[in-house]
Amino acid sequence: MEEMLDEEKLKIVDNAIKGFQGNATQLESAIGFFWLGFHFGWKFMYLAHSKKTVRQYEEILDIKIRDCFPEKGIGAERSTGFRVVQTMSNFWKAISSGNPEVKTPNIDRAIEDT
């Protein structure tokens, strides 16, 4: 994935504002989500938000987060929850409240590093 230029980011936000109809708090949340996504990455954003909310923000912004954000941003490791999910065998099952196979030594290490 090629890093998005600041001008491209601003254009996405500007287009979302111009085209938005509805509750302004949803637009505001989507814009905040957008900027944080570059810092934390798309995996963290799926962990922090429901899939439904991610889809809603993608629609407001007219983006696909996996095409815009890095998989793991520089801020992702600050989250204990993200570090724990990284130790699980299946990311998608982990964020969907499935029953992923847990690699216990890595979880112990992730929790100790907090």
Domain boundaries in the chain?
1-74, 79-114
pLDDT of residue 85: 80
Q: Kindly report the number of other CB atoms within 10 A of residue 16's CB atom.
A: 19
Are the CB atoms for 72 and 48 separated by under 8 Å? no
Which segments in the chain show pLDDT lower than 50? 98-114
The per-residue pLDDT for 80 is 79
Q: What is the pLDDT of residue 38?
A: 96
> Which pLDDT belongs to residue 97?
58
pTM of the entire predicted model: 0.76
- Report pLDDT for 17: 97
DSSP string, 22-35: S-HHHHHHHHHHHH
Residue 107 pLDDT: 39
